[in-house]
Amino acid sequence: MTSSADKSVCVTGASGYIGCWLVKYLLEQGYTVHATVRDLNRKTEPLKRLAEEHASQGGQLVLHQANLLDAESFNEPIKQCSVVYHTASPFQISKSRESGQKRFIDPAVRGTENVLRACLRPETRRTLRRVVVTSSIAAVTGFYDQKHGNPVPTYDETDWNTTSTPQNDPYSFSKTAAERRAWELAHAPENRDKSWDLVTILPGFVLGPSLTTETESGSVEFMRELLGGRLALGVPAWQQSIVDVRDVALAHLRAGSDKKRVPSGRYIVVAGYKSILEVASAVRAEWGQRFRLPQRELPKWLMYLAGPFIGLPWEMIRHRVGIPICFNVAKSKTLLGMEYRGVDLTIREHVQQMIADGLVPLQR
């Protein structure tokens, strides 16, 4: 029988792109969700609406204010929970004057460390049974040609990103450093007496409909730029490993709720592959000329010239543009039972949501 303690969980970054869907699924199954947000006065209405919609299933929502860089702010929401889902992490692609260290690396690494240290406090280290951390395929490889393959290099959960640096790709470096820190803390000799183990979920480029119009996500921002015509002159030949946000949330749910069948470890979640131009083509197939979409790929030499002006380091262009990549997702299918949505469906429903919410303009 499931106890009330087993039905009490914590979701960090609950108002985020992935976090919101995870909260929805947990409430549907009657969990009490201790949801952390950066500001209790902002972006909480979608979460409150979800709680109201699923009250009949027994789910309850408890909101907490917490900051990734505040070591004490996660103590209360995590206390007496059986599972912690750490989804909070920075991922924005718009231009910023902040350094990669301040914008990505510090929040990701210190935030993960702060959350896990809250999980190791005396009142929590013996009541928790699992911690699920959102990582990324960016922690698997930075350069697409980091290793060789015939005809395409295939990466799996044994691979780690050894090529990204704070200078050439601070986002990927931050995901790698944060996940490594999580495993260091989970496996530290002084923490052997803890009752919980660790699972990390490594999604590809996350697309799909958002439950909020205010999500600060690089994925959502990319779609707004694509549909808004900012990439209409052309795009790099850059392949994306895509997965639906709903499948990512479901992978988290299954990893946290079924410890007996899902062992501790890393799990790559990727549904399929499309270049940026192919994403645009999928949109055009449904909406025709209603959006100003790119119709050509820019030559690599031109990307080298434009790179410094659009925030793409030469090293990233050299080792990603025009280079195919593949990820082995057998582990997620076998142990998490994942049956991934088709990428075209994901793109179509993402665009439908953005149109319905008035986030992108349709041309007549």
How do the pLDDT tens digits run along the chain, 364 residues long?
345 557 899 999 999 999 999 999 999 999 999 999 999 988 899 999 999 999 888 899 999 999 988 989 999 999 989 999 999 876 444 445 566 787 788 889 999 999 999 999 988 887 899 999 999 999 999 999 999 877 888 999 999 999 999 988 999 999 999 999 999 999 999 998 899 999 999 999 999 999 988 767 788 889 999 999 999 999 999 999 999 999 999 999 999 998 889 999 999 999 999 999 999 999 999 999 999 999 999 999 999 998 888 778 899 899 999 999 999 999 999 999 999 999 999 999 999 999 999 988 888 7
CA atoms within 13 A on the CB side of 268: 24
| Catalytic residue of the set 24, 175, 194, 274 | 175
Q: How far is CA 38 from CA 56, 74, 89, 93, in A?
A: 28, 11, 11, 20
Q: Is position 24 annotated as part of the catalytic site? A: no
349: helix, strand or coil: helix
3-class SS of residue 68: coil
- Bridge-based pairing of strands 130-134 and 83-86 is parallel
Q: Which CATH class is domain 8-356?
A: alpha beta
pTM: 0.94
